Structure 1
Amino acid sequence: MATQGMASPAGSTAPAGAITITNNPSGNPTPGDGKAQRPAESRPADVPSDTPSGAQRELAQENEFQRFVYNATGQKLPLFGQPYFAGADRSFAPVESVPVPTDYVLGPGDELYIRAWGSIDVDYRATIDRNGQINIPRIGTMGVAGIKAGDVEAHLRTQVSRVFRNFSLNVTLGQLRSIQVFVVGQARRPGNYTISSLSTLVSAVFASGGPAQNGSMRKIQLRRDRKVIAELDLYDFIIHGNKDRDVRLLPGDVIVYTAAGPRVAVLGAVDTPAIYELQPQGEALERVLGYGGGTRASTNPRSAQLESIDASQPRAPRTVATLDLAQAGRTLLKDGDIVTLFGVAPQFANAITLRGNVAAPLRYPYSPGMRISQLIPDRDALITPDYYVRKNKLVQFTNGSDVSTQQLTRDVKNIVDEPNWEYAAIERIDPKTLAMQLIPFNLGKAVIDRDPAHDLALQPGDVVTVFARQDIRNPVSKQTRLVRVEGEIAAPGIYQIQPGETLPQLVQRAGGMTPEAYVFGTEFAREETRRQQQIALDDAIKRLEAQLASEGATAAANLSATDAQAANQLRQAQAEARKAQITRLKGLKSTGRIALELPSSATPSDLPDLPLEDGDRVSVPARPAFVFAVGAVANNNAILWRSGRKMRDYLDVAGVDADADMGNSFIVRADGTVLHASRRGWFNDLEGTELMPGDTLVVPEKGNRETFWTAFTRGLKDWSQILYQFGLAAAAIQTLRN
């Protein structure tokens, strides 16, 4: 310490007479030059280090009471407080990071860093020897053992002042001594530990891993000179952070983990289900619940269960009792008790549940005499929130003039979830039999008409379900059905059809046909027919794919080419052709067209009285001026239609190839029907048939000496699309007849 009136050295910020004690980042006191000195490694001498996973495995071990609780309840409960020690480190790092207190007593092995300036210049590290002394050059030997850290600077100043005058002195604690303590009893990691002299009982408990599964957390003893110096209750420390019983360790101290005292189990509706250790004299239930954070609002305050062991009963020592948590302060628990807390019932005392196709599916408060019309007071309560979301999206990022008929149809059907006005239901539990009752009612009569027969009285706990029209299939008269009419119609568009409305009636309601309408070529498509046709088409393509693969393999096996390389190239070309043909066929999609079988001179009055369905499409084309010839003809183009001209006349104009197979030729009429030459019994002479505008004449090629598969694929390449249309038309005719 500097003598009064003497100035400190340049750069010094410590006032005269101050004790300066500094720590390095690891917590060890260092001399003023800032050079940290690491203490001796604090590790038990006889215990190998283990990993955190090893600590977890130790926690997984169970004691006898834990197994007893598991057999009784089916639940594995941890020991309260044990998780705090799952990752405990033996290095005593928490102790090293604390500052050196002023009441720390110096002893052999402690290091002092002494600086003096003025009449004497000293910069010296001194370690206290076994005699409790240090030797300072030019000053001499002096005893410091037993002096507190806060008094050592004044003590050394007094000793130096006997030799020198007019000086300043600063003393800093350097590396502290190590001490050896012993951990015994029911410890998780017993052994002898070399630790820092700043270590306390609490830090030693954590460094040694805490008590073992059978060790006590309520009574950890510190013995010194055959006397119990302190007893630590870890519950008091863990729950309240109380360190009043924590003391600093000295060399030779013994930490004793006693055996665990009486234990109880608490489980159920609590935040911390665990096994708790009691004080030897027992504790009240209220106090034990407080260890785990107490009860919550979700805990039933009126009902709990206590399972006890009654040693006075020789045959069945276990008993069960019901507890009232209001008396928890007077319920004394004893060893072996199991307390189960129950949660409050999820039942609502005064709630009606409304769900389904409604604006706000919620629980609503019940009032005496409440009816359906009070739960659903108006029609707005049946508009789902999705309606407004869909409605707002109609104008988001969209040009207002860019609206297709498909989009209009989709919007009309999907913009609002229409409620089912004819049917809704109440789910109710019969309080006598606890059987579920389903009570149907007419939603429209209850909400709109307030009909007492359907505006039913509600009871607490009822669940009212409102269905949408798409949830349950309704009669046709109650469905929203849309049909698209386009082409040569006075007012083409999308129409909502009425119950039982037919095709002629809809055409008349749309303003009838224009003078340019070609009634014979009217296209009528149905969504259900399209789905059935697509299924049949996909199945036919699969069969054809298997057939072509089989015949291709047979053809390749029958090749008689002498040149192996040429034969191989031919097989590869055939394989590529098969693959390309199947890919083309898979790209075909059905249209759902149904042939109306109209007369060639059909008028709107000739339209069949076909009942309409949702999704139907009617397209009336303008009268075309051409017929088409495809296949084995010289002119695969449109040919001008002339009245009275027959098939042979068009063949003369188109020019028939030499390899044409006239026996398999056919006509695809504009109305979707097909006339085939092989069925002369039905159609007489096909070549004498008069063609109508829009008809298509198909002349396939005849077979040659090539294999069947080669001829088939080559011919199919030219007219597979026509065969496809023929297949769809035939399926449509069969559907219409059924």
Structure 2
Amino acid sequence: MKFFKKIVFSFLLSFLILSPSYAEDQGTNVNAAADPSPVITNSSDLITAEDKPRIFDEGLPKTSRSGQSLQPFGANLFAGNYVSRRPSSLDPNYQVIAGDKIALRMWGEATANEILPVDANGNVFIPDVGEIQMVGTRASEVSSKIKAAVGKVYKDGVDVYANLLTASTKEVTVFVTGSVIRPGQYSGLPDDSILAFLHQAGGVDPRRGSYRQVLVKRGQQRVASMDLYDFVNNGSLPKVLFRDGDTIVVRPQGSMISVEGDIRNNYRFEFLGNSISGAQLIKYARPDSSVTNIAVSGTRDGLPNSSYITYEQFMNNRLYDGDSVRFVSDAPTPVMDISLEGSHLGNSYLAIKRGSRLQEVLDYVSVDPNEADIGNIYIKRKSVAIEQKKNIDEALRRLERSVLTAPASSDGEAAIRAKEAELILKFVERASTVRPEGKVVVSDRGKVANIRMEDGDIIVIPPKSDVVMISGEVQVPQSVVFATNASLKDYIAQAGGFTERANEESLMVVKPNGKVIMGRNPPVAAGDQIMVYPRLDTKDMQFTKDLVQIVYQIAVAAKAVGL
């Protein structure tokens, strides 16, 4: 078992540092610093891109969500938290309700120092002044309203000060029903928002509920209605003072359209009525500026229907319940984006003409010859990373099948095979998560292959290094200073020598550009990494040969062509 763990560790370690070599015809020597400015003046050859970053996604394709898995627009409203306001700190916009208390002080011709309750009719009573309607008055306006009423009776000689002393702490119970997650009766303050009560009920049911029709009913009377789309887009929220027994009803979901593609909002959108125009949908979907065409599929007159129309045609196109819409950027572009990493001067992102080759790009890249290792330039390419990942996954699936179908001649052997299978499956699980970088080796002995560039390529110019790394089956893995007169065995001696499991017959040197050299005594240069693999005894485990094949397949990356 310990031996197998060694194999797993060696596999993962080797894969993380290795990648395939790939090259076309060799070009000329790379200049240390071509033009001192990376900005290109001849736009027909190369165009600089401003603020157009492209992030390399490690070569893995992103799976588009299907219309069935899209969330309704507005569903994330209930992913946050709604905290009910408590009267410990009075809100100046709080509106007076029955049961509140108001402090009144009068001095001068008439005096008073009283606490006035707001009665069930919403009034307060002041002797010699009469009833004053206070329900719905904001806390900040209480004093001015009472002062105005007193001033009508006492023209001069009376000063008045009034303020809302305590807001009513009485909670109300509201029924939340319809298409919500947890229908029921919930408590809150009278001025809590509709959203706060919906949140207590778990929010709108994303499969059944409407985000466009939320009603507040008091008996048979409709008190308010709410369109959650207005709140999401504009912050519009109707103000309702709830009473005991009020009901919030979420109506059944209306017509839905699934929207995907090059847009900012990948959601299912609900609309009221039988149809909606493309122009109305665009306001919610917010397509990217690059969109040129729209694919629409659905049902018309009981039969499947699909169309591929221009952006202008889509504006007046009618959409119906169940339609799927995909926004597509389908216009051919004469340029493609690339980026630069590592030791270089100037811009990190460029837009180049399609069909450009590496040498044309490097002519406009400035580097410091004392810092940049121009002899080990390489490229990270998305298409290579995808192919690497595909090949690795296929090899791991073959290994998995061979493990699960391995025969056993006795109960003892069956138990051993079961343990082997358990470890192999863990190995497959971990190995399947490794993501290739998609390295393309384009440099060798100071020359760079003049290969054709692809959209999304990343040109990496490594910094110069004066050390050599030694890892794997050595006593003390470490980095040591490069010496011109030192051999590979000298470096291994500085790392304490080989371990008992080291494979001394086949050693590996990995160049900074990802190129791999194997043998008993390969040459070593500054910046290289020396890898010592374990000696694999095929008698220890039935599937060791399969593992060895996978390890070396990944190490040299199938379909790679070395320089």
Specify which structure has the higher proportion of helix.
Answer: 1
Structure index of larger Rg:
1
Alignment TM class, shorter chain as reference: 0.3 to 0.5
Specify which structure has the higher proportion of strand.
Answer: 2
Which structure carries more relative contact order (alpha carbon 8 Å, separation 6+)? 2
